[in-house]
Structure 1
Amino acid sequence: MLSVFSSPSPERNDSLLSQVRSVSEVLSQSDPPEYFQLDILLSRGENLKAMDTNGFSDPYAIFLINNESLCKSDIKKRTLNPTWNQFFRVRITADQVEKLRIEVKDRDTFSSDDLIGCNAMDLRKLNIEEENTIKMSLRGGYQEDENALLGTIYFTIKLRNFSGDGLSSDSTDKTKNKNKKKITVANAIIQILDVYDVKLTHKELPSINLRAKVEGQKYETKTKRKCLNPVFNRACYFTLMQEPNVLHKDHSLEIFMFDNKSLQATGIMKLTSLAHDTLHNMSLDLRTESNKLRGRVNLAITISGVDKASTSKMEEKFKLSEAGKIYNFSKTLSDFTDIGILKALDGAFGFGTSDPYCYVDLGNQRFRTATIDKTVNPEWNRTFYFDISDLYECLTLSIYDEDQNEDDFLGRLCLPIADMINDQKIEYRLKTKRLDNFTQGALTITCSRYYNPIRGNARLFKPKQRAYWNCEPKYTFDTFFTNVNRLKAFEMPDIAPLLALMYDVIHWKNKPLSFLIWIGTMGAVHSFEPWMIPAALVGVLVVGRMQPSLFVKKKNSTKKSSLRSENDKTDKKPNGDALSPNIIKKTKEMIKSLETKIDFIAGILEKIFHTFIWIRPAATLTLVIALIIITIVLKYIGFRVILMIWLTKKLTIYGFKPNYVDNNEGP
């Protein structure tokens, strides 16, 4: 049985309704159109026949004309009542406006897919620009009799005049794609961050792992044992593809949560609705088949289209920034978290014949260019926009050669934001993965950035954002001793002269000096005020600017560190009995934890050291200005007054504004 319910498109007015014509009338005119646009919204299936021994099927639907596939839906696992809600926009020729065949098949892994049922409808009986809701009963094979026991599918279809909107450049040339089954429309980079709100039925702590899937492409995380809030930080790279004649296709991300290899819940998200070239921080509910919540997963998603031009809100924001309407000094206090914006334009690079593509990273924002097949000098001409979260971050560009098994690394480039020159096309030589040596090839790039220096330098003294793209740290002696060497760089200054001076003062060997220091100490203790602390720090910073050598201890050139040689010795296996795997595992975990703490401490010390010797002049100058302002405030207002004002606000604000939300307090 085939039921058709026609309804005019909601955007059409009464005058257009009077112009509705059947497809057969349009085709019979003297100058018929060459192409038509077919919009299909595949909704769901109902009571499909079970084709597998487990009593279920893994159904998917195919739309065909003249036995040529137009579009194919996603596969729905273990169900007889699939819900697709998947939209397709297909370009067809006038010769193809005839019978549209719909086949529903069961996906099999080790054999050919089984046909659940099929049916057909005549497109020539439709009206142009008229939406038709179809309820179609499936029949078996090529038999003419319909068999309702095979199931029913529901979809909406509309035939329109072809406008060319949404048509990719790769699909305009039929001869170019006659041997190509699918074309790439976008690249999705999905970072699985962590799982929270886990609610499982058993009382034992779960061992959770996740599996991400997009159109047959799968990634799986490691298993986190005995943990309710596992952190994965697993990067998944998906290629979004569609048939050459398809103008638009919905792509869905499926997340499966397993506990001890047992499926617990799933979550589905449509990727098509997400804006391209933007970092999306999202949360996805994981539910059972009975719609019970079993947990939530945090995701960071970026989708990069293959088009050469990118139009988005970021582009509009960049134009406003370029005109000086966002990041000028008068707007400093309007949004203190918005530091700036960066525009990067990928050019070309010279290398051996390969299939290169480029990852462009800034902080947690990662985008990818299209792959250029078999070329020596690819030209991407791709523009990306980034939100600047740290003025002293680096824009990183990594070039890879796409292969079937594992992509080969070709070169890397790292550009500090602070050193960029606006609107200048510059060619850079590529470096190795560790950026310690040059390698073959060069990259041409044009960068422009606009930012508020006060916001940017103030952000330096806040904790860094959580890093999405850093892999889980691994235990190695290299990184451990590197961090130890970083700590060794902060040796205690030579305080012997100061101790000798203190001894002379205490013992009154220089009586006038000892008397003056005694009088000064008594006066300082008697008249101490809190504003004196930032005032003294300003003095120290000024001294660091005028005489940075006072803070830098001269190193003995003849002294060499033996840590590297010790590292080489330690990496060798001992001659004695082997340690048990459990002891080795615990030792590695302990050293990994120690290594992380050393890295954190070394990073703080480096920031303090660089601030005092003006390595980053803008940041240090910002600190000096802030300390001067604090000094003046504490001098003329008083610490007690400030404390009373702060306590009054904290204790009374919710009385006046019950719905008040503090900027520093999350939900």
Structure 2
Amino acid sequence: MRVSHMAYIDALSMCLPHRSSRWKNSFMRCKVDIAALPLKQANCLELPLDSCLGVLLMLVTLTPCAGVSISDLCVCPLADPSERKQIAQRYGLRNSLRDMKDIGLLQVKVLKAVDLLAADFSGKSDPFCLLELGNDRLQTHTIYKTLNPEWNKVFTFPVKDIHDVLEVTVFDEDGDKPPDFLGKIAIPLLSIRDGQTNCYVLKNKDLEQAFKGLIYLEMDFIYNPVKASIRTFSPREKRFVEDSRKLSKKILSRDVDRVKRITMAIWNTIQFLKSCFQWESTWRSAIAFVVFLVTVWNFELYMIPLALLLLFVYNFIRPVKGKVGGMQDSQESTDLEDEDEEDDKESEKKGLIERIYMVQDIVSTVQNVLEEIASFGERIKK
């Protein structure tokens, strides 16, 4: 994979508002020649800004990404049977205790897009595709002056968490200006069907409504189920590039509902197990009693991981439910900017901005804790 020698860095400038209590965001851009920087070493850089006076002081460390690659369709890694067999063996059950962070591999074939939005005055666009999985980001080349681009590129990502979501965004290249948005999709890894060409309808930035155009992808997902199960109990990897989240009544209410659903699922499971031994249903209680006797009589320590593996197989057989839940979570986290503006207007009308700021940190902490609890419970439930 070839790496561009020049990298652009967008710096977010926070400017003081005029006759308003809200912050206004403006972007400034600077560029740095990453080819001249040494690998795995902290580099202190003083970068001049392109669009205005001033410099940006920052530390940059270049670290090579293992397992990330871009290739053409003719040299697709998983197309070669011998190489595919070698990769499958690497993630086989025999290697379940080796390199616990290397859970699996995702291969995405970005084939083409159809009927995209015309972003230029000429009625055409200059589309390219950006793929994001966790902190790994890869993009296709730009195809100029077309609404039906054919990229035919193969992208390979190392998988660190099977609960991650692959985000594919189509942009229109606009020279030195920020690219124009042409559509986006989000695909949970657990919903992927290996080797099938799928057509996805592009959606808006919030993934709430259909935008314009279609994109064709073909994906293969190979992973180790034991490593994936163990990784489920670890916190999610933090995103390096992530929008700052504000206090939101909608997010807080959503996280409370998520925690409530997880709590109710645990409570219903306990009640079901309890009812099995209270003879509310003769057949169910009889079966539960026999299973209990056989389990106690033949119990060994190795049965504990086998029981966890059976739960994993049960949820693996029903991936559709995981897909619906993943897409629902993606849709529930949308439409936040409009709601933030409404909250700001209400605060200005009531004249209680200072008091709101005093309790905002506390409520935001509660909101984040609820989200972490809900995410952890949902990951185990899946």
Q: TM-score of the superposition, structure 1-length normalised? A: 0.37
Equivalent position of 1:64 in the other structure: none
8 A contact 1:187–1:237 mirrored in 2: no
Give how far 1:377 is off: 0.4
Deviations 1:411-470 (CA, angstroms, capped at 9, x unpaired): 112223233233332222222222233222111112122222222222112222222232
2: CA distance between counterparts of 1:331 and 1:494? 37
Equivalent position of 1:464 in the other structure: 236
Determine which structure has the larger helix proportion and give its number.
Answer: 2
Cα distance change of structure 1 residues 363 and 285 upon mapping to structure 2, 3 Å threshold: same
Cα distance change of structure 1 residues 436 and 301 upon mapping to structure 2, 3 Å threshold: farther
Equivalent position of 2:108 in the other structure: 344
Q: Which amino acid aligns with 1:417?
A: L
The reply on whether 1:579 has 2:370 as its aligned counterpart is no
Equivalent position of 2:189 in the other structure: 417
Q: State how 1:565-644 maps to structure 2 within 5 Å.
A: 572-573=345-346, 578-579=351-352, 581=354, 583-608=355-380, 610=381, 616=382
The reply on whether 1:367 has 2:138 as its aligned counterpart is yes
8 A contact 2:128–2:142 mirrored in 1: yes
Q: Equivalent residue of 1:366, what SS?
A: strand
8 A contact 1:186–1:306 mirrored in 2: no
1: CA distance between counterparts of 2:243 and 2:342? 27
Structure 2 gaps of 5+ residues are: 15-26, 47-56, 118-123, 279-299, 315-335
Q: How many residues in Structure 1 have an aligned counterpart in Structure 2? A: 294
Equivalent position of 1:285 in the other structure: 43
Decide which of 324, 332, 345 is 2:96's aligned counterpart: 332
1: CA distance between counterparts of 2:138 and 2:215? 17
1: CA distance between counterparts of 2:268 and 2:195? 48
8 A contact 1:187–1:305 mirrored in 2: no
1: CA distance between counterparts of 2:141 and 2:359? 44
Identity between Structure 1 and Structure 2 (%): 24
Deviations 1:85-125 (CA, angstroms, capped at 9, x unpaired): xxxxxxxxxxxxxxxxxxxxxxxxxxxxxxxxxxxxxxxxx
8 A contact 2:109–2:217 mirrored in 1: yes
Cα distance change of structure 1 residues 568 and 355 upon mapping to structure 2, 3 Å threshold: closer
1: CA distance between counterparts of 2:166 and 2:373? 25
Equivalent position of 1:388 in the other structure: 159
Tell which has more relative contact order, 1 or 2 (C-alpha 8 A, sep 6+): 2
Give how far 1:316 is off: 12
8 A contact 2:72–2:153 mirrored in 1: yes
Q: State how 1:498-577 maps to structure 2 within 5 Å.
A: 572-573=345-346
Structure 1 gaps of 5+ residues are: 1-165, 167-184, 189-213, 224-234, 240-250, 254-268, 275-281, 289-293, 506-530, 546-563, 611-615, 617-667
2: CA distance between counterparts of 1:441 and 1:367? 21
Deviations 1:471-515 (CA, angstroms, capped at 9, x unpaired): 2222333322222332333456589x99xx9xxx9xxxxxxxxxx
Choose 1 or 2 for highest CA Rg: 1
8 A contact 1:320–1:326 mirrored in 2: no
Cα distance change of structure 1 residues 318 and 369 upon mapping to structure 2, 3 Å threshold: farther
Q: Equivalent residue of 1:598, what SS?
A: helix
8 A contact 2:132–2:168 mirrored in 1: yes
8 A contact 1:427–1:444 mirrored in 2: yes
Q: State how 1:277-316 maps to structure 2 within 5 Å.
A: 282-286=40-44, 297=60, 308=72
Cα distance change of structure 1 residues 299 and 601 upon mapping to structure 2, 3 Å threshold: farther
Give how far 1:319 is off: 6.4
Equivalent position of 1:73 in the other structure: none
Q: Which amino acid aligns with 1:451?
A: Y
Determine which structure has the larger strand proportion and give its number.
Answer: 1
Give how far 1:574 is off: 5.7
2: CA distance between counterparts of 1:426 and 1:236? 38
8 A contact 1:187–1:238 mirrored in 2: no
Alpha carbon RMSD of aligned pairs, Å? 4.8
2: CA distance between counterparts of 1:407 and 1:287? 26
8 A contact 1:347–1:380 mirrored in 2: yes
Deviations 1:360-402 (CA, angstroms, capped at 9, x unpaired): 1111111111222220100111211110111232222111122
2: CA distance between counterparts of 1:318 and 1:469? 37
Q: Which amino acid aligns with 1:270?
A: A
1: CA distance between counterparts of 2:220 and 2:70? 22
Cα distance change of structure 1 residues 588 and 472 upon mapping to structure 2, 3 Å threshold: same
Q: State how 1:473-488 maps to structure 2 within 5 Å.
A: 473-488=245-260
8 A contact 2:125–2:145 mirrored in 1: yes
